[in-house]
Structure 1
Amino acid sequence: MSIIEIIVLALIQGLTEFLPISSSAHLILPSQILGWQDQGLAFDVAVHVGSLAAVVIYFRQEVKTILAAMFKQVISKEASSEANLGWLVALATIPALLFGLAFKDIIEVYARSTAVIATTTIVFGLLLWWADVKAKQTVSMQMLGWQKALIIGIAQAIAMIPGTSRSGITITAGLMLGLSRSEAAKFSFLMSIPIILIAGSYHTLKLATGTEAVDWNAIILGTSLSFISAYACIYFFLAVIEKMGMLPFVIYRLLLGGVLIALMM
């Protein structure tokens, strides 16, 4: 890959991993418009590592508190709201794992077309708008309960369909279940940690057992840019989400879906 390709793709990954605008919809544009080739497994692993590092470092205090509380509960049976939140995040991860094991190959073959991505970008964008308008915003993360956490987890599983947006659909589900915008976003970000870690580990194993050559300069640059853009994205999103709402992202998704449809004509 050229330096320009590395920079553009890493920034796209970092920004769109956590904004509710669909990373797959954006990653298809360079290949459709500029004819760029697939970035390869090694680079894909690198940019996901950058995104994972960003969310873990941003929420480092919360992650440390949650893990310590979960460990304490296992050892001494001492329950706490922090431990409960950790178990809710773990529970919400399970549907995506099961869905991935069952349908990954089918999605790779039949659901990565421009038509599918354009459709899901628009449809789930409108659903995000509806959820934001109707949201009661009266529930905190600690008040979710296992049933609501599982529903958000099922939403995350649906995000395996390209164009849906993992952050977009989990925030949508959180809003529908009464979370505030910031609480829905935070729960979505915390949910991203185990799912990105598992996906990254899976791809790393494939890379280690494969024969793909590794361009270490591209890996280092891609990881760094993905980290910087993802961290900035999380900071910006949480800083403005309560005042700005979801409408700007909805409008952007509708425009992006329209561009993808135009490319098919």
Structure 2
Amino acid sequence: MRALLLTLLVTCLPATAAELTIETPNGAHAWTTADLLAHPARTEIDIPQDVSYKRAMHYQAVPLATLLTGLKPDDTLQAVALDGFAAELQAAPLLAAQGARAWLAIEDPAHPWPPLGDEKPSAGPFYLVWTDPAAGRIVPEQWPFQIARLRYLAPIAQRFPALLPAADASPAVREGFLAFQKNCLACHRLNGAGDAAFGPDLNLPYSPTEYFADDFLGRYIRDPQSLRRWPQAKMPAFSREILDDDTLHHLIDYLRHMAKRKA
């Protein structure tokens, strides 16, 4: 495996700013908030429907691709947030200059962002946001906030073989595995495999396909609050614009398949 380490460390400085350190094969560079706000590619962007704030937001931001020198489209990155959320991100959409475009939003200490909710912090100091996300079918898990680290990853088959379907699995199950990586792995582990520490394991001790009857699992994924409502609920709804019906069925096929492959 070619040597590549890209680490983004966020260190909050009291009442001032944060520091962003990026390491690539070209060397390491530490960016303070002030450095990023003065970056020549820094601009102001409007996000009509911010995923985390659920309303229009205005940010000072830098195109993320300008900070990811040395990466290739088929590489995989992982954004690890301060709360344990760990989003697997394919590099190709992060590097794209057309269509859906990734931006590193930078919280200015002089003008802090609003909190995400009662007794919650803001999405800062660094937040991955997208312009024209529909063009790339960008899902909520690709909007990590409070980013603590961004690192290069080996292929998932090498890191977590316990997630893999059987060699003779159907095409639908294999499509479901891809959907699981994109939509679920940021929050959940399966068979104990994964880096997230946000949601429960989806196979141990039981798969949700074993305790949701009939079509209730699909309904739960579509709108969790319609079946289980409590103040601490964190799972987002997956609309058809994010997860179409066929993909949802394939995801459930994968979970049902993996229920027979418990670690």
TM-score, normalized by the shorter chain, greater than 0.5? no
TM-score by length of 2: 0.23
Task: Give the TM-score of the pair, scaled to structure 1.
Answer: 0.23
**Greater percentage in strand:** 2
**Which of the two has greater helix per residue?**
1
Give the number of the structure with larger relative contact order, counting CA–CA contacts within 8 Å between residues 6 or more apart. Answer: 1
